[in-house]
Structure 1
Amino acid sequence: MAAVTATIEAAAAHDLRIGIDIGGTWIKGALIDLASGTPAGAVRRLQTPAGGNVGAVADTMDRLVAELEVECLGAAGRPVGVAIPSIVKRGIAHSAANMDGSWIGLDVQSYLKSRLGRPVRVVNDADAAGMAEALYGAGTARKGVVLVLTLGTGIGSALIVDGRLVPNFELGHLEVDGFKAESRASAVVRENEGLGWVEYAGRLQRYLAHVEFLFSPDLIIIGGGISACSQEYLPRLSLRTPVIPASLENSAGVVGAALQASAAWN
């Protein structure tokens, strides 16, 4: 009872939004306190439907929001920000990385607003993670060019210049040594191919050295599901640019999605 009371008090005292991060493997969601960038309750997750069909994903999101509203009374009726693995322009998806092609060309923002019955704002998943890290995490108060890379099912990327986001900055699709980068250096590829940390760090080194040459960032932040194991591969990298783990780890996309729901990022 005390936990529920605390959640209600938090809802009254702070600006709370629901953030949902749609990945190729998991759909994660939480009620986020935007004053601190931290979850007001547990971060919940449900498995992404096989194939990533739009309707099936929307059904799963509906379940996730319902679970959040049961667990956190402050979540009832709150706007939702949704991070999706797509290039997003004015709420419309223009790609579908590791998802069904039915996303492409869809006004996802309007569709989900109708399905969830509440205000919805949609953002590219890597942009969401980048916004969260820049405002609340490892990139806080950093000047210059900050590159946030999320290593998960694929490779997401966000570029932030003097605190401002450059949207839809897709570096996971760069070709390195004749291969799409995310087909060689994502976290899922490491798992599927059974790569040891030394071999994986070598692949990541090759990719990051290419990105460093092209964009000369002042800081590279590594996030995504593999960020919790950063001590296994970051010390093996050799770059001019400092490379640090994301401090929000795998919750950055959820936090950034909630931030998008508030339209607080300008």
Structure 2
Amino acid sequence: MAATVFYLGEIPPPGAVAVLDGPEGRHAATVRRIRVGESITLSDGRGVVAESEVVAAEKGRLELAVLDRRVAEPVVPAVTVVQALPKSDRSELAVELMTEAGVDVIVPWQAARCVANWDGKAAKGVEKWRAAARAAARQSRRAYIPEVGEVRRTRDVVELVRATVAEGGVVAALHESGAGRFTALPFEAAKRVVLIVGPEGGLDDAEIAAFTEVGAFAVVLGPTVLRTSTAGAVALGALGALTSRW
């Protein structure tokens, strides 16, 4: 099996031949130099996974005999991370780490204290995050590529919190002076979990008040203060150990 998953828009049934070209094909054939006879894993990034064998290899293109096809069950509870925009040199790192740690949805957030400002360049920033999520999902052999949403403002996050709580979910706003502990939240019974990660300057009082007013818990994650680019991944790891996700 290859050390990564390769993504294909649609996975054909067993016995058919799949063609891997474009960026994925170039990565497999040219960068990884995968050759005829090798076995690789394919996924559509939406849960379908297939084992296949290379039957033809050209520059930037592979033909693969599909050996089997299955659907990977999504991990529950599903987790959304609302990620305040980190500084540019750590922005994509945050996405990579969260993807490797199992995030399902990432929401870029223009928080009050963000040093980064995506005004006028949100589309470019979102595309970079989506590319980072796809690459990290490939490397970590994920059947599901995390969804990266459009950049949101605080009012949008408040509505997300409200909707999540209304459907029986749990929302944790990670804050160094939070009144509660992350480990004490009722994650196991939650249908969905939302983690809110503030910027390097932290969540401001108005944001905390707005989130907790509609049902979020302001909690401390652990004994140390983490960078915004790593807090989401650490929280996901802790959540995996606290629930049936791991």
Report the TM-score range of the alignment, normalised by the length of the smaller protein.
0.3 to 0.5
Task: Considering fraction of residues, name the structure with more helix.
Answer: 1
TM-score w.r.t. structure 1 length?
Answer: 0.31
TM-score w.r.t. structure 2 length?
Answer: 0.33
CA radius of gyration, larger in: 2
